[in-house]
Structure 1
Amino acid sequence: MPLIVLLAGGFFVTALLYASVGFGGGSTYAALLALAGLDYRVLPMVALACNIVVVAGSTMRFARAGVTPWKGALLLTVLAAPAAFVGGLVQIDERSFMALLGASLVLTAGTMLIPVSRTSEGEASGLARFMPIIAAPLGFLAGLVGIGGGIFLAPLLHLTRWRDARAIAATASFFILVNSLFGLAGQLAKSGPAMFGGAIYEALPLLVAVAIGGQIGSLLALKVLPLKWIRWLTAALVLVVGVRLLAGA
């Protein structure tokens, strides 16, 4: 079976699982490409482009539903987006890139196992006001290795009771979308239009796969499997891939 077909299947499943729990899946897209032996310099470009495809629809749906807390979401994102652009500009060797990507995946698996309440319980904790401080580091990591950062941000927002669950999901989606756009811009500025154009052209089947998987995940997956099962399954898959990358770094 052609490699691109296998990758498209993996990207489809990743998008379905991540979209069903409100995220984009950028780190796992990059990891799948790394395991397939693609040039590590194009991995963030493809991963961030796939992120944008997956979360653009959910961001619009949240906005139309009126659940996005724009003041708080914009504050977090405005601090993170410039750092995502800088992260995209940074030159990094392959060994360091793979180590950072593997560590990001292991941390992603851990965040997915943090229990998430669907309701708001009481007032925000005192730590909630410090959430903007972590926005810039998450943005930098987003641009550097091809993730959106929302999967790390959302659990912290839940733990501090920053907003209710729907508002946090909307904020994470918007955070991922904007960081991915700025990170992709940084990657383009670093690598040039030729490499960027070639990477996106070769990745067209993968972009189609995540578009379909993301829509199915956001609309149907939660009606088929309990949320905690989806999160546990995704965490297990991500952990295996992350450990494999770290072992080879």
Structure 2
Amino acid sequence: MDNTLLLVVFFFLIAIFYSSVGFGGGSSYLALLVLAGIDLFVLRSTALMCNIIVVSSGTFIFYQEGYLNVKRTLPIIIASVPMAFLGGYLPLSAEFIFILLGFTLLIASILLWIKPYNHSEKNEDDFTRKQSTGVGIGGVIGFISGMVGIGGGIFLSPVLNLINWSKPKRVAAMASFFILVNSLAGLIGQWMQHPPYLDLEWSWPLLVAVLLGGQIGSRLAVQKFSHGTVKRTTAVLVFIASLKILNDHLFGF
């Protein structure tokens, strides 16, 4: 735990960048904690707590600015929350979780790297069809997110952009809300399966860092903020972490 100060700095920066595009940062928190050698169950709970702190203010600000359409978002949320709880509640072995986490981060890095299509207004006409697709996607993402300890926005946002679900800022607003409720559901599921693994004596500086970073980034989110570079940089970090996890727990090179 000697590297806590370095983690605090990185968590602060990650919270700024992620919250500015509607994410919580769970995948990068996990990646850094894995690279730092933190216990699996501690890092899962810590990442989810950081997610909740970061996206709480972001969700509120998006709602205030009119970007969050709760009525359109609820069907996807309703599909994802019980699945996130179930994923967090499942009694999985540490080795299985690490392997799943490795593949999850690998897929996330690819989705982050892909440039989304440009949204056009005519795509609103077939919104019912897209929302039905989104409900199915939300359930699957919620389940996987609960198992590995992330909010799922890192999957949901690229997928919704790829299917032209809505304008980028509206997708970011929905991803922020999605991360909030799924992080809560996943954390409750984890804690019902086993005692809470949250070392507050060690993790409180990280929680404070993401609180401050999230407040800054959330206010940047509603401005004209180009997040292509942030997404690509994040994709590289997550990709490196995924390779390390898979090498350590699957391939053993």
So what's the TM-score if we normalise by structure 1?
0.89
Q: Partner of 1:204 in structure 2?
A: 204
Instruction: State whether residues 148 and 179 of structure 1, in contact with CA within 8 Å, keep that contact through their aligned partners in structure 2.
Output: yes
Q: Partner of 2:49 in structure 1?
A: 49
| Amino acid across the alignment from 2:171 | I
Single out whichever of 107-116 and 59-68 deviates more from structure 2.
107-116
Q: Partner of 1:187 in structure 2?
A: 190
Cα deviation 1:37-71 (Å, max 9, x = unaligned): 22212221111000001111110001111221112
Single out whichever of 75-84 and 135-144 deviates more from structure 2.
135-144
Q: Does 1:170 align with 2:173?
A: yes
Aligned equivalents of 1:241 and 1:204: distance in 2? 24
What are structure 1's unaligned runs of at least 5 residues? none
Single out whichever of 61-70 and 169-178 deviates more from structure 2.
61-70
Q: Partner of 2:70 in structure 1?
A: 70
| Amino acid across the alignment from 2:96 | S
- 1:184: how far off? 0.7
2:165 match: secondary structure: coil
What are structure 2's unaligned runs of at least 5 residues? none
Report 1:154-165 matches (<5 A).
154-165=157-168
Aligned equivalents of 1:69 and 1:107: distance in 2? 28
Aligned equivalents of 1:224 and 1:136: distance in 2? 31
**Aligned counterpart in structure 2 of residue 149 of structure 1, from 152, 161, 166:** 152
Instruction: State whether residues 31 and 238 of structure 2, in contact with CA within 8 Å, keep that contact through their aligned partners in structure 1.
Output: no
Aligned equivalents of 2:103 and 2:122: distance in 1? 34
Aligned equivalents of 2:7 and 2:200: distance in 1? 14
Cα deviation 1:164-196 (Å, max 9, x = unaligned): 22221111110000000111111111122xx44
Distance 1:163 1:221, change over 3 A: closer
1:161 match: secondary structure: coil
Q: Partner of 2:143 in structure 1?
A: 140
Aligned equivalents of 1:84 and 1:57: distance in 2? 21
Report 1:79-118 matches (<5 A).
79-116=79-116
1:203 match: secondary structure: helix
Q: Partner of 1:2 in structure 2?
A: 2
Matched length:
246
Percent identity, aligned pairs only, is 41
- 1:16: how far off? 2.2
Single out whichever of 159-168 and 112-121 deviates more from structure 2.
112-121
Single out whichever of 73-82 and 111-120 deviates more from structure 2.
111-120
Instruction: State whether residues 153 and 179 of structure 2, in contact with CA within 8 Å, keep that contact through their aligned partners in structure 1.
Output: yes
Instruction: State whether residues 34 and 241 of structure 2, in contact with CA within 8 Å, keep that contact through their aligned partners in structure 1.
Output: no
2:23 match: secondary structure: coil
